[in-house]
């Protein structure tokens, strides 16, 4: 008994260091870079995205979020709804990654890319009205939109306006965040329901774009 507890503690410490904030090994990044060649066809070699095919900028997204969301695409928790056309484009790409180690390696590489500054593409959003709508969002995404790993909320700082609008629409329509296994998407879905219409979504997105 007395031997087991220290062993368990040691094991817990190893598991904790493996799941978050672990140092990224150089060969992980190398493997990630090799795997990223496929991703670059849609997300671009610098991770700036391609609006013409609905591929968002991903450069500099935190590795924990990339790992979690790519795993969701891989397992059909995200991007499997028949009406989620952009999700259906991403899902088979995630499925080319053969193991959790490959997902972690490509996530580490994506996280190491310097964030890009996407141009604004939407018109008609009112950032002043959006600021009021954004107040409840700060609880998870933070006042500056930097995200919060403890609450599983990604950064919104380097994301495109068209992509954010599309995701708010998907959450609201139940194309994202409704799979029973989507424990973190479930946190976001009720928030999307507070945005009454497309105008409200455009307003909040216009405000998020001012956060840098």
Kindly state whether residue 136 participates in binding ligand HEC, applying the rule CB under 6 A. yes
Q: What is the dihedral of CA 35, 115, 66, 198, to 10 degrees?
A: -130
Kindly state whether residue 204 participates in binding ligand HEC, applying the rule CB under 6 A. yes
Kindly state whether residue 70 participates in binding ligand HEC, applying the rule CB under 6 A. yes
Closest approach of ligand HEC to the CB of residue 51, in Å:
10
Q: Interior CA angle at 63 toward 61 and 64, to 5°?
A: 110
The Cα 58–Cα 158 span in angstroms is 8
Q: Which stretch binds ligand HEC (CB under 6 A): 5-13, 19-27, 111-119, 156-164?
A: 156-164
The Cα 58–Cα 48 span in angstroms is 7
Q: Interior CA angle at 46 toward 122 and 96, to 5°?
A: 100
Start-to-end CA span in the chain (Å): 53
Closest approach of ligand HEC to the CB of residue 6, in Å:
35
Nearest residue (CB) to ligand HEC, 39 versus 206: 39
Closest approach of ligand HEC to the CB of residue 89, in Å:
4
Kindly state whether residue 77 participates in binding ligand HEC, applying the rule CB under 6 A. no
Is the Cβ–Cβ distance between 107 and 116 less than 8 Å?
no
Convert residues 37-66 into a mask of x (bound to ligand HEC by CB under 6 A) and - (unbound).
-xx-xxx---------xxxx-x--x----x
Is the Cβ–Cβ distance between 177 and 81 less than 8 Å?
no
Question: Residue written as tokens 């059909």?
Answer: 76
Which residues of the chain form contacts with ligand HEC (CB under 6 A)? Answer: 38-39, 41-43, 53-56, 58, 61, 66, 68-70, 79, 86-87, 89-90, 93, 97, 106, 110, 136-137, 139-141, 151-154, 156, 159, 164, 166-168, 184-185, 187-188, 191, 194-195, 204
């Amino acid at each position: 008994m007395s031997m087991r507890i220290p062993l368990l503690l040691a094991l817990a410490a190893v598991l904790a260091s493996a799941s978050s904030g672990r140092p990224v090994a150089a060969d992980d990044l190398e493997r990630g870079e090799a795997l990223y060649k496929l991703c670059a066809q849609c997300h671009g070699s610098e991770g700036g995205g391609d609006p013409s095919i609905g591929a968002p900028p991903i450069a500099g997204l935190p590795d924990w979020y990339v790992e979690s969301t790519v795993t969701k695409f891989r397992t059909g928790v995200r991007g499997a709804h028949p009406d989620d056309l952009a999700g259906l484009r991403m899902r088979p790409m995630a499925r080319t990654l053969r193991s959790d180690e490959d997902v972690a390696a490509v996530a580490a590489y994506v996280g190491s890319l310097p964030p890009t500054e996407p141009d604004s593409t939407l018109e008609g959003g009112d950032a002043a009205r959006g600021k009021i709508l954004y107040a409840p969002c700060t609880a998870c995404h933070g006042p500056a939109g930097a995200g919060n790993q403890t609450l599983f909320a990604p950064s919104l700082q380097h994301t495109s306006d068209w992509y954010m609008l599309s995701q708010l629409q998907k959450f609201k329509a139940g194309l994202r965040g409704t799979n029973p296994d989507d424990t973190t998407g479930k946190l976001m879905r009720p928030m999307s329901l507070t945005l009454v219409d497309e105008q409200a979504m455009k307003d909040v997105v216009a405000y998020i774009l001012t956060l840098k």
